[in-house]
Amino acid sequence: MSKPSGEPSFEKALAELEKIVARMESGELSLEQALSAHKRGLELARFCQKQLEAAQQQVKVLEGEVLKPLAAASQAEADEDR
């Protein structure tokens, strides 16, 4: 699956988002800079969320829509071991 040109990878977007959060938490930004950083952070968060949702859909297809909650899967494995 190729990305459109200019679109960052999930990892790069997440790294940029982490840097923005750190800068905002440091309190070193002016109001205008903080607003701009917040806007960019929202864009990056939405992008990352979409990437995660797409990955989840791919996993569902690969698993044949047979995803189980972790607790149920662990219980099923325990039952099989008996």
- What digits encode the pLDDT tens for the residues 46-61? 999 999 999 988 888 7
The residues, ordered by sequence, that sit 6+ positions from 78 with a Cβ below 8 Å of its Cβ are none
Q: Can you tell me the distance from the alpha carbon of 69 to that of 67, in angstroms, rounded to the nearest whole number?
A: 7
The pTM (predicted TM-score) of the whole model is: 0.66
What integer is the mean pLDDT of 22-29? 94
Structure tokens at 21: 């959060």
